[in-house]
Structure 1
Amino acid sequence: FRDALEIGNEGRYDMYDLALVKPIPLVERRLRFDVPERITADGRIRQKLDAAALLDLCRQLQAENIAAVAICFLHAFTNPAHEIEALEIVREMLPNTAISVSHQVAPGMREYPRTSTTVANAYVQPITEQYMARVQQGLNASGVNAPLNIMLSSGGTTTVEAASAFPIRLVESGPSGGALAGVYWGARVGQPDILAFDMGGTTAKAVLTKHGQLTITNQSEVAHVHRFKRGSGLPLMVPMIELIEIGAGGGSIARLNNLGLPAVGPESAGSTPGPAAYGRGGGQPTVTDADLLIGYLNPDYFADGTIRLDTEAARAAYEPLAASLNLSVARLAWGVHQLVNENMAAAARVHAAERGLEIRRYSMVATGGAGPVHACGVAEKLGVQQVIIPPLAGVGSAFGFMTAPISFDFTRSYVARLDSLNLAELNTILDDLEREGRAIVEAAGVPALDIAVQLSIDMRYVGQGYEVRVPFAKQTLTAAHIAQMQAAFEQEYKQFYGQLANGVPIEAVNWRVVIAGPTPDIGKLSLESEATATNTAYTARPVIFKAETEPQPTPVYRRTALSAGWQSNGPLIIEEAASTTIVLPGWSARVDDSGCLVLTQ
């Protein structure tokens, strides 16, 4: 319906905000149109598509000189016949226009998120297609003949063609690389349960893995009105690694909130102008400025020495805020560092509790330029005993890309109680999804025999409005598998909620098929430090670890000077080109055989 994007799901993300602001739809109302047609919830055609009305609409759109069209009909996920017919008409009338149709972009139940996702895909499709074409042309001009694969938000990679057709699947694909890096390095050090913590210049991301497996969700949001309030953004219904975003990065700005208390973020100085210490015109006090003022960062060795940090500019940025609080600049900077750590720890703690996970059992893998700076502090607040700083931690997401298999996900809504599944119809749907996915993965160069197929099912008790994702072996389903589905659901449900609703029928809602090639073999990484290792500190500098104590002289090492087997007790600092690792008092550090820094409390 024309106003579905404004109506949304009628939920309120803040029950007590009398001036609630909702996210603005990506397409204004004058460019949203109804077309007469109707398909029922069970896929029957009640009213045929009015092709004449659609042709008139296309002529109107021609006059608007639009770049993209989104087509989303009610219940198209059960029967896409009308969307297919509309696609053919629009493609003929608007041949140079990008077209997104909901049964391809987001073939799942729930009209509002399906429409929102399709519109978002159309919104970014033209610019994505142009960008991908320029990248490919640039590679060709440089003589690079290797295939270009694009990272997906679900943790796999795909072809340029698939990424251009479904650009909405690239949302949060960068942090997905950090999650994959966490899984990879967790496996290298023998830790299957990992908290992957990635902190950069604007935000921090946290991802929990269980038994070495990432959780995939089909529910996410973008363009939040209130950055970290669920329900305040535009919903997306695409497969994505489940992560939490915290408004805490190196560029996050310290300020006083409405109560006159110190707060950090979510506003950020970004990279331009950036923190005050960058010397690029920024004057706001940021987290990076605070880390510099307490001695955690080396002003002469930031970003491998390519950026010289201005300590006095950082101090000047903090002086007005410190004066208003009657604090010294050093004490305020220490407090900002602690506040950021607490914000990140609190978000990760809640995220784990909502999923029934005991986060203190986890090991942290810290990546990103600022991740190793804050890792020990966040871990202490969470009760996490071990932190892993992998090689190339500052570019951990890029490293994670190299471990991503070529893959593609398809989700289809097929709502039915387990005791009344039409197995013949369901097997046909799943086989069609597998066939479509295999075509995409094989087009990316994966041999048919190397392709693996995985199935998961979103299930719930009848009457519930939320589902639990249940892994299940992809096979031709028979009546014998019904009891196995029920047992698998009950196991997952009890893990989340602690008890079962015995006697209540179970229904399946969404069926997800993942078609993937093998995980790339990146070989064994060699330690850059082996040839030149001295295992000694090259200098020391004063560092503030506690507000009530004087700065403590702290040894500083270059990571390239440390070889496998080296170990020492904190406090100490380890510098490398793209990040700095802070080992707090009460922690120890060692270099393992894989080149990881393993920090233990």
Structure 2
Amino acid sequence: MNAPVRDSAIRLSADVGGTFTDVAAFDETTGALRLGKTLTTPQRLVTGIENGVGKAGSRFQAAGLFLHGTTVAINTILERSGARCALLTTQGFRDIYEIGRVNRPESYNLFFEKHTPLIDRDLRFEIMERMDAQGAVLIPLDEDQVRKTVREAVKDGVQAIAILFLHSYRNPAHEQRAKQIVEQEFPQLFVTASHELSQEYREYERTSTAAANAYVGPRVQRYLTEMEAHLGDAGFGGNFLIVQSTGGLFDVNDARRSCIRMLESGPAAGVVGTKVLCDALGMQNAIAFDMGGTTAKAGVIHEGHVLMTGAALIGGYATGLPVQMPMIDIQEVGTGGGSIARVEVGNALRVGPESAGASPGPVCYGLGGTEPTITDANLILGRLGADRFLGGEMPLDLEAAKKAMAEKVADPLGLDPVKAAEGILRIATTKMAHVVRWVTTERGLDAADFALVAYGGAGPLHAAAVGRELSIATVIIPRAPGHFSACGMLVADLRRDFVNTWFKPLADASFPEMETIFAEMERQGRDTVGRGQSLTGVEVRRSADMRYVGQEHAVTVELPTELFQKQDRAGIKALFDAVHQTRYGFSVAHEKAEIVSLRSAVIGQLRKPPFEHIAKGGVEPDKEAFRGKRPVYFASTGFVDTPTYDRPALKAGNRIAGPALIEEHASTTVVHPGDSVEIDAFGDLVITLRRG
């Protein structure tokens, strides 16, 4: 795993999180993989990446490919720290962005507040133009009005322009011309048009997507430009690719224009890595659980496929803003290793979503943090070794953690610091179990039918507790869990997703017409993914959004090649009924169905690092793997002397009964009393949880 990396065909990947930056360096010639982990540098993220590359024993100059995942886009939205934007929209429709869908999740909440748009009403401008639903021009575009409106917006300090004209998904001519005018006369502005991001109907969602892209655009562009300049200065001469929310890779120049496709950049790579791990293990159903320093995230692999969604609400259901584009269905909660615990009004203990981040970080880091966090709680309970964090590179201050826990949490609640720390972990476990339910139960799936694949620096510390909360029987900790998302980038492929709204009753749908639409989307995809890359193959996946006639919302149904070629309407209808049954708990075989949109994903396959087997051993671990005992607190036993093991020294076939701690450079796995763990052929820790 940590063999030296030679200067050859190096593939670098970097995952920038809120607390840590993870780097993986893979040598395609020798198969060597080295890892680096360093604190994220919020003031200049590139510095953290550079430090991580150095710790991985590599150099940008030696790399032929640099893969990057970052939270800069989603953090810009959540922090409301984006650019001052203006919206150009069809006359009469400036308020659709604020009216939204009139959802009211809490019917009797008198204090309910709706979403807050990213663009204020006084910067939403109506333009004289109109298309009909078939794309025919009803009112020509008033080009002079576009020029005058943007000129006034620039005087008001606008840095970015979002363009949304009605029915541009059917005919984008007016949006294209308006964008051309703005770019010609105001080249300093970031300009985005809705048809470039979404080819689906629903004007509110398209407006919100375009507005979000404009809002994050200038900041993301600056970041990517800074990153490219740094790569150039470092002598990097290879390809620079960004991870999309679909888990696929796309060119940095595309990322500059479609910044919003980077929303779930880092987390998506972890789900892709989980999918590849499932393929290697012959496993069909798994929950990808990623707990880092700031958040915990969950995605699903069901029947061998990553579950996707066509839209997401950024910021939650009640007040979130919709983004309408294909992405992996990932849910997250503000519970990470750096999540702050505090006592609020009424002596209520609250954990997160505020995080200590990388600066000042948890109290035990000794970098100026004063409020206790989940990491401090794990240290107090003995689950982290003060002298073994990050392989001993970063000593932790146990006494400072205890003092902060006593002053800020334990004393106000009348508890001792140990009980306070245990309470913090119990609250965190409950919150993280909820996020897993959001991606399983709300899709009609039972979490107990899945294995939990846990990664991220803090994931293995909490995986068994979360799994037990959900009645999951098996937890898997992959190799290098603290770098798993960065490693997931190494197994990702180039990908482009296309959607085309096409309303047709299934009974009347023309297969030749569908083939024409699919063929055009796939032609664009093949042209894009094959640009400047050496591919091992191209895969195409087709699907359709379908619903029963009279319904408003649709479900996505995979279209197997054989059904499409046979023009088997009954087979497609049966697939739709099955998906509807899973999602909503019912289906109606005799009801007519209709197609809403056609979807195509074009995947350019890249050569991937192999999953290597580790050395075989006996049932008992070798003596070299044992690292002594230390007191660890468990709710069922109190403090108990717990054996600790060095994970790199464990071999395939070794079995360990809980309680135990299995330590490695960037993570610690907790095996609870009554649980057991076996090391599989690839070096994964397979934990069997005690029932009851």
Q: Normalised by the size of structure 2, how large is the TM-score?
A: 0.81
Change (3 A) 1:265 1:327: same
Change (3 A) 1:258 1:520: farther
Q: Does 1:470 align with 2:557?
A: yes
2:458 corresponds in structure 1 to: 370
Give SS of 1:249's match.
coil
Q: Deviations over 1:200-235 (max 9, x none)?
A: 11111111211221011121122x2xxxx4131111
Q: Deviations over 1:356-394 (max 9, x none)?
A: 222212111110010000011111111111111111100
Q: Compute the displacement of 1:263 (Å).
A: 3.0
1:38 corresponds in structure 2 to: 130
Q: Compute the displacement of 1:528 (Å).
A: 9.6
- The structure with the greater share of residues assigned to strand is 2
2:385 corresponds in structure 1 to: 298
1:444-523 → structure 2 map (5 Å cutoff): 444-446=532-534, 450-473=537-560, 480-523=567-610
- Which sits farther off after the overlay, 579-588 or 485-494? 485-494
* Alignment partners' CA distance in 2, 1:253 and 1:138: 34
Q: Compute the displacement of 1:132 (Å).
A: 2.2
Contact kept, 8 Å, 2:574 with 2:589, in 1: the verdict is no
Change (3 A) 1:491 1:61: same
Q: Does 1:551 align with 2:651?
A: no
1:131-210 → structure 2 map (5 Å cutoff): 131-210=223-302
Contact kept, 8 Å, 1:78 with 1:414, in 2: the verdict is no
Give SS of 1:96's match.
coil
- Which sits farther off after the overlay, 301-310 or 479-488? 479-488
Change (3 A) 1:230 1:523: same
* Amino acid across the alignment from 1:119: A
Contact kept, 8 Å, 1:106 with 1:238, in 2: the verdict is yes
Q: CA RMSD in A?
A: 2.4
- Which sits farther off after the overlay, 393-402 or 490-499? 490-499
Give SS of 1:512's match.
strand
1:118 corresponds in structure 2 to: 210
Give the number of aligned pairs.
593
* Alignment partners' CA distance in 2, 1:529 and 1:252: 39
Q: Deviations over 1:235-261 (max 9, x none)?
A: 111211112212211111223455533
Q: Compute the displacement of 1:98 (Å).
A: 2.3
Give SS of 2:635's match.
coil
Contact kept, 8 Å, 1:176 with 1:241, in 2: the verdict is yes
Task: Decide which of 380, 384, 387 is 2:472's aligned counterpart.
Answer: 384
* Alignment partners' CA distance in 2, 1:48 and 1:505: 39
1:600 corresponds in structure 2 to: 688
Task: Decide which of 270, 273, 294 is 2:357's aligned counterpart.
Answer: 270
Q: Normalised by the size of structure 1, how large is the TM-score?
A: 0.93
- Which sits farther off after the overlay, 379-388 or 493-502? 493-502
1:355 corresponds in structure 2 to: 443
Q: Compute the displacement of 1:270 (Å).
A: 1.9
1:288 corresponds in structure 2 to: 375
Give SS of 1:299's match.
coil
1:94 corresponds in structure 2 to: 186
2:627 corresponds in structure 1 to: 538
Task: Decide which of 240, 243, 248 is 2:330's aligned counterpart.
Answer: 243
Change (3 A) 1:526 1:274: same
* Amino acid across the alignment from 1:515: V
* Alignment partners' CA distance in 1, 2:334 and 2:627: 35
* Amino acid across the alignment from 2:318: G
- Which sits farther off after the overlay, 477-486 or 340-349? 477-486
1:343 corresponds in structure 2 to: 431
Task: Decide which of 21, 28, 36 is 2:113's aligned counterpart.
Answer: 21
Give SS of 2:530's match.
helix
Q: Compute the displacement of 1:504 (Å).
A: 3.1
2:6 corresponds in structure 1 to: none
5+ residue gaps in structure 1? none
Q: Compute the displacement of 1:458 (Å).
A: 1.1
Q: Deviations over 1:390-432 (max 9, x none)?
A: 1110011111111111111111222222233355554433222
2:67 corresponds in structure 1 to: none
* Amino acid across the alignment from 1:274: G
Change (3 A) 1:101 1:423: farther
Q: Compute the displacement of 1:529 (Å).
A: 11
Contact kept, 8 Å, 2:505 with 2:594, in 1: the verdict is yes
- Which sits farther off after the overlay, 274-283 or 551-560? 274-283
* Alignment partners' CA distance in 2, 1:62 and 1:359: 51
* Alignment partners' CA distance in 2, 1:33 and 1:475: 49
5+ residue gaps in structure 2? 1-92
Change (3 A) 1:293 1:523: same
Contact kept, 8 Å, 1:13 with 1:232, in 2: the verdict is no
* Alignment partners' CA distance in 1, 2:285 and 2:565: 34
1:574 corresponds in structure 2 to: 662
1:300-449 → structure 2 map (5 Å cutoff): 300-320=387-407, 321-421=409-509, 423=511, 425-446=513-534
Q: Compute the displacement of 1:487 (Å).
A: 2.2
* Alignment partners' CA distance in 1, 2:568 and 2:176: 34
1:60 corresponds in structure 2 to: 152
* Amino acid across the alignment from 2:647: R
* Alignment partners' CA distance in 1, 2:615 and 2:226: 34
Change (3 A) 1:325 1:95: closer
Identity %: 38
Give SS of 1:557's match.
strand
Contact kept, 8 Å, 1:528 with 1:560, in 2: the verdict is no
Give SS of 1:508's match.
strand
Give SS of 1:552's match.
strand
* Alignment partners' CA distance in 2, 1:476 and 1:162: 34
